[in-house]
Each structure stands twice: as C-alpha cells, then as structure tokens.
A and B are shown apart, each in its own frame.
Chain A
C-alpha cells in the first residue's frame, strides 16, 4: 500500500515532465486521493505529499492547465487536515506552494494568477463572514454590501469621480490605496454599525431577511446615486481606478532574479498583497476565536438566553461580530477595486452575498481552514470548471441552444451545494469541533 502510493506519486512526477496534459493531471489527482485517503504510514504519506507538490508544480509550469491548481489546493487541504505530519513539513510545503508553485504556474499561464487573486479576495471575505455566521450564528444575507462600501470608498477617491462633489486634486495617487485600506475599515465598520443597530435586535430568521433587504438597498443606492449629485456614476460604474505604484516591488523581484513583464508584474504584486492580507485576517480570526469575544459569540450562537443570563451583553457583542466581518470585507473591497481598476454595482448583487455564504457553508461554519477551502473550491468551480465545461459543450455539442450554457448556471450550482450540504453534511467539509458537536447532538 505504502509502496503503491509512492509509485503512483513518482509515476505522476514522470508524467508531468513527459506528458503534461489534462489526463496526466487527473492521474495526479488520483495519486493525491490515494495518498490522502488510504491508511498509510505517516512518513510515507509526508514523502508522497512532497513529491506530489513538486509534480503538480512541474505539470503546471509545463502545461498551464488549471487542473494542476486543483491538485495544489488539495495538497494544502491535506496538509491542514491530515494528522501526524510533522509541523515543519506542513509549514514548509504550504509556503512552497503559496510562494513558489503558484507564481511559477502563473508565469506559464497568467490565468492562474487571476484565479489565485480571486480566491484570495474571496477567502478573506469568507473569513469575515465566518465571524458573523460561523462564530456568532448571525445569518447575514447582505454581506456583499460591505464589500461594495469598501470598493467604492477607494474607487471614488482613486479616480476622477470625486471631482463631481469636491474641490481637490483627483484622482489621488496610487500609494493612497494603503491609507484607504485603513479608511475602508472605518467606513465599513460604521456601515456595519448602522445596519446592525436595527437588524441585530431581531430574531435569527428576520435578521436574514432584513440584511438581505439592506444589502439590496446599498446596491440600489450605488446604482442611482449618479443624480442629483454624481457620487457613484450609477450603473456604468467607475473606471479607471488607480493602482499603487510598484517600482520598489519590481526592484525587489529583480534582485531575486525574477524578470517581470507588463502583464505579470501587477498580478504577482496583487497576489502577494492578497496572501499577506489573508495571513493577517487569519491571525486576527484565530486570536478572536480564542478571546473573550470569540467565546461570547459562540455562547450567543449556541443559546442566546443562557448567554444573556450569564451576563453577556447581546447587542454590543453581536455588533462587534458584525463590524469585524464588515471590516474584513471592506479592506478586500479596496484591493478588489484597485486590482480590477473598475467598480460597478453589478459585482455586489445578492448572488455575490450568497456565493460567499456558500463558501462558508461548504467549508464548515466557524472553521477557518474551511472558509479558505470553500473560497478556493467555489472560485475554481465558478471561474474555471464551469467555463471549461461550457467550452466543451460549445465545441462538442454545437446543436444545443446557446441559452443552455453551463457558465450561466452558477446559481444552480450554488443552490445545489447549499441544499446538499445542509441535508448531508451541515457541519461542512472541514468541521469546527464545537459545530460538529452541535449538529450531531440535535
């Protein structure tokens, strides 16, 4: 068994060199499955994971096929969830994947960067929503509203838009983006306070509907505040939004011997920026979960009445959860606006809110690695798998009407994920201990 799994991994390494194509990557995924799910001796398993990391990286560099990226995500999940792997190996392999494999793959196929950045932005947001839904048990269906507030905060001042209602020298230069990340924390936390003050007094299911309504209100405002005074430029959206200057980053990379061209420099920069943000968000999240507030949130989630009788002030505690989640989303909104250089109300629909909720549910409510996995899975599914499937349908089944294009059916996919998870595995793919207990005792 151990030898077999080792041979499979080795075989895939060979295949990745000689025949890097989607089929051989599928073989690699099988090898990864064998390594993860069969009962292996721990050090063999560790060795296999290292081999497979190398193999997927090689495969990605040589073919740029995004199946390899799924493999890398799978290895990251294995590193976080499998038992009895030495800690330093986990850290080393994880960092190698994030800092070397993905950028190397990105140079072979820039779409990998795009995916990585989107996964990162969504993962940070899923972690924010995870505080609200997973830890405090408050179902917020208007979470994209905070994302919108963050994105517009920078978009308005980082473009010519602000000239419509202010004197001043706009657009503000790109390095102000970092300042606005701080400002967005304040504006979104305040928005969270404004929305939360009325909404959080309500019972759970009413809260869901009200947040949904308020989320729509924010979108409607973004859509219509182009008159009487043009704040948001309405449905056309705002473009171009300034990006931070990256000369320093270019020099740093050049000294490391990485040659960047015009297309990859910003992608690599934003990829690293997003990684940094996720690191920070995870740090904040872990510390919060183990703090007084985190325990208070869990208490409120499990039993509001009991929590209150133990002296936990309900509204302030809930508001804090709401504002924390909002702030995470707001910061990511600023990065989103800068990375896209374009912001419009279309990005902040109910579908966006439900997508982020789906990520949290898929990964496991309250679970930090779960939220990141959920973000990776749904983003890859949405941007990559569905689109590939669409192309496949278009080329091989041309007689099918063009309205039946799989890429247009993300709602169906998300809906199925939500329903199936709730029926068969409500605690998520990587459950958090306390949640699992709660779901099982019921």
Chain B
C-alpha cells in the first residue's frame, strides 16, 4: 500500500502540476472580470472551450501544411486567443452591457444572464461543428514534435514536451499579466475601475472601454489555455468547459477572488489536491470510491474555503457596503 503510494507520488505531483496550470490560466479570466464587475462570468468556461475547439480545428487543417510542430502550436495559440478574446468582447457588449446601462441593482440578473450566455455558446459551437463536420466529439490531431517524452528522476516521472510547453506558457502569461496590471497605463485604469467605477470615470477613464479590454484580456488568456488543454487532453466537446470552468472558479476563490497571483496559486493547489484524490482515493478505499469522487472533493473544498476564509489565501477582506 504505502510503497505503491510512494512509487506513484512523483508522477501524481507532476500531473497535478499540469492540471493546476490549466486551472490557473482559466482562473485568471474569472478573477479579472470579478475584480472589475463583481460578476461571476459563467460564460468564461465556454470562452475556454472555444479556444480548445479553435486549437483542434487549426491542427486539423494546418498540420499537413506546417511541418514544424512548434510553429503550428504558436499559430493555434494566437488564433485561439484571438477568437476567444473577440467572443468575450461580444458577450460583454451584447449581454452584460445592456444590463449595466439599465443600472439594475439586482445581483441575480447579470448572473442569470451569464448562465444563459454559457448555454448559448455551448450549443452554438455544437451547431457550427455539426454543420461543418457533422460531429461534435473532436479529437486533437497529434503532432510528432510535441509528443516527445523524457523520463525524469530515473523513470519515476514520464513527461511530454507538450506538458513543458503548457507550464512555460502559463508562467509567461502570469508574469505578463502581472506586469500589465501593475506597470502599464491600461493596468492602472483596470485597477481604478475595479476599485471605484464612478470615480474612475470622473478621472477621465472610459469604464466601458476598460471593461471591454478586461474581457478581451481574460478571454484571450482563457482561449490560449483552451488550446493547451486540447493539446494535453486531446478529447474536446462543446460541453468540455463546464467542469474545468467550475474548478477554475474554485481556484480563483481559493486564491482570493480579484487577486491575480492568488488565482495562479489557487489553481496549482487545486490541481494538486484533485489529482491526489483522483489517484489515491481508489487505492486507499480498495476501489470502493473511484476517481469519480475527485469532483466532489473539488466542490467540498470550494464550500469549505467560502465558509472558513471567504477572502481566500491571498485576498483582502472586503467590507460589505451598506
């Protein structure tokens, strides 16, 4: 028993790291939008899914023409990010902005809208894929250059090139985003709108433009994450965004919603926990409780965090204004 657990441990940690980076990238989008609008953007999981679908299509059509796998992946990342970012802007423009303009104080209205948008996007993608290929279960095409594998720690870890790319890109994204938010003019504007929208608009910031930019940034990060997710896990459907989406939101809450390094940390922690339970639960319970319960664990973590430390690991306590 214990030997079995220890023998698997390095691989479990490594796979948890991959999963954690995926959650972290998606969590960034949730956290940014929440920071600015205090809205749980339910549709973000579908933005992520759209990125994944774009990745599959790019690989499907361009793999025969582009010899170099790394170049192909770069193209897919750019296209996935752009398409997802534009979708996010459109969602904000046509679904959320009319509600803001009406100025409803009811918090449920934007949330219900977001759920509706999420459903619409799922079926729209299914419709497009259905018309295009008459199927919606998509397989990511494998490309030799990205599938190469190495053994680490004397064979204890089996790792593929694509997994290292995934981790590298997510670290780059976090660093880039932190720089953007803390050091650029746009970042200052985003933080100003997040802190106090009416005052920011009095200081010459156009809140609509900044909110739109926020959706663009969060959306394209989600899209890039989607492409990498498709590369890593290969099977994609229009409904694939739902669970990673909920878990990435959990990660954002775990790190402290609205906090960018927090989202990254929360993602990594959640990835480790989930993979740990998913692998060891069947072993510890003699197969009585299978891997399926890992989702239950993620939800229980979410509830626990919200009850015990609602501001998350790195978040600050926000006073409810009356």
Which residues of A approach B to under 8 Å, CB–CB? 133, 137, 139, 141, 198-199, 201-206, 208-210, 212-214, 216-217, 220-221, 223-224, 227-228, 305, 350, 354, 357, 361, 401-404, 408-409, 411-412, 414-419, 422-423, 426, 438-439, 442
Contacts and interface: CB of A to CB of B under 8 A. Distances in A.
A216 B105 contact: no
Given A227-B287, A350-B242, A442-B103, 6 more contacts: A139-B111, A224-B290, A411-B120, A415-B122, A418-B112, A422-B116
Nearest to B95: A419
B310 A401 contact: no
B303 A141 contact: no
Contacts of B119: 354, 411-412, 414-415, 418
A217 B295 CA distance: 8
A213 B95 CA distance: 24
Interface in B96-140: 98-99, 102-113, 115-124, 126-127, 129-131, 134-136
A305 B319 CA distance: 13
- Please report whether the interface of chain A is mostly helix, strand, loop or mixed according to DSSP: helix
Contacts of B306: 202, 206, 210
Contacts of B38: 205
Interface residues of B, number: 58
B124 A412 contact: yes
B42 to A, nearest CB: 9
Contact of A205 (B107, B299, B300): B107
Interface string B243-268: 00010010001000000000000000
Contact of B106 (A201, A401, A403, A438): A438
B306 to A, nearest CB: 5
A423 B95 contact: yes
Contacts of B298: 213
B106 A442 contact: yes
A338 to B, nearest CB: 29
Contacts of B135: 403
22 contacts: A141-B115, A202-B306, A204-B107, A206-B310, A209-B302, A210-B299, A305-B320, A354-B119, A401-B130, A403-B130, A409-B123, A412-B127, A414-B119, A415-B115, A415-B119, A422-B112, A422-B113, A423-B95, A423-B98, A438-B106, A442-B105, A442-B106
A361 B106 CA distance: 14
Interface in B22-43: 38-40
A442 B102 CA distance: 7
